[in-house]
A and B are shown apart, each in its own frame.
Chain A
Amino acid sequence: MDKMSREALMKQLQVQSFAIDDIKLYLDTHPTDRNALDFYKKFKKLRDETYREYTLRYGPISAENVFVEDSWTWVETPWPWERWV
């Protein structure tokens, strides 16, 4: 993950988050499906790692995860509707 650009890391976060979005709906109606539960577990771990890496390197994705130093960085990073990613 070392040399990943902001855009590439965001893409990875989107992919891993989507895997969770999709399996979450499946698990709502198949709550004991072993394969689906393992899939969820695997991607939850991957997403958590990417989320943390992204936040540390490029700033907060959620206003609940701002590393507060000298300024409120939540509003400094680009909004998702801007064309940066």
Chain B
Amino acid sequence: MWTYEKRLQYPVKISKPDARAAKIVITQFGGPDGELAASQRYLSQRYSMPFKQVAGVLTDIGTEELAHMEMVSTIVHQLTKDLSLEEIQREGLDTYFVDHTVGIWPQSAAGNPFTASYLQSKGDAITDLVEDMAAEQKARTTYDNLLRLIDNPEVREPLKFLRAREIVHFQRFGEALRIVLDNLNTKNFYAINPEFDLTRPKGGNK
């Protein structure tokens, strides 16, 4: 169960529309390293995670990603809301406009639609947490690239906040991975998959 709070995690108040910025920021909504993929990755992985603390990390970071998705969508909305048709055509947003007007739709900067293949839920604790750590770094690099391309401080401030959260999440997933390893055979971390073999009498073998 989730409850909704009518507020953003960090304020977004952009006074000047900018189609070019909107076209690239939207990738952190529905692109390969975006917040939609992040939230679904962590919230899907948690069910088979046998370590309570790690399931907590996945739940709480996954929930925070939903708030980040709302922030990114808000940035794109405020950047596009008051665009003129001339600006939309001149700055190349017409290819988005024709399908979505200025509604918010999950796609990458290059226009690829969101797909579940951007994320993995492998049912193996080490595999999933290493994916999660990589995902946080990929998102951090994407925010770094957006910050190289965007000058407006009203857009940069929330992007800087989101970038900093990727680093904190990377740290927490690293700690979660350590918790998993501490619970495994230190001579061979791969002797069993704790998400499959622990609850089966003969392990997961035939």
A residues sitting closer than 8 Å to B (CB atoms) are 10-11, 13-14, 17-18, 21-22, 24-26, 28-31, 60-64, 77, 79-81, 83, 85
By the criterion CB–CB under 8 Å, are B14 and A83 in contact? yes
Question: What is the distance, in angstroms, from A15's C-beta to the closest C-beta of chain B?
Answer: 10
Contacts of B5 in A (CB 8 A): 17, 61-62
Q: Is B117 an interface residue (CB 8 A)?
A: no
In whole angstroms, how far apart are the Cα atoms of A73 and B172 in the complex? 38
Q: Is B90 an interface residue (CB 8 A)?
A: no
Contacts of A80 in B (CB 8 A): 6-8, 70, 74
Closest to B67 in A: A21
The residue from A18, A63, A81 contacting B9, defined by CB atoms under 8 A apart? A18
Closest to A15 in B: B10
By the criterion CB–CB under 8 Å, are A81 and B10 in contact? no
The residue from B11, B53, B73, B77 contacting A11, defined by CB atoms under 8 A apart? B11
Question: What is the distance, in angstroms, from A76's C-beta to the closest C-beta of chain B?
Answer: 11
By the criterion CB–CB under 8 Å, are B74 and A81 in contact? yes
Q: Is B108 an interface residue (CB 8 A)?
A: no
From 176 to 194 in chain B, residues with beta carbon under 8 angstroms from any chain A beta carbon are 176, 179
Q: Is B78 an interface residue (CB 8 A)?
A: yes
In whole angstroms, how far apart are the Cα atoms of A77 and B8 in the complex? 14
In whole angstroms, how far apart are the Cα atoms of A39 and B57 in the complex? 19
Closest to A77 in B: B6
In whole angstroms, how far apart are the Cα atoms of A64 and B11 in the complex? 23
By the criterion CB–CB under 8 Å, are A25 and B57 in contact? yes
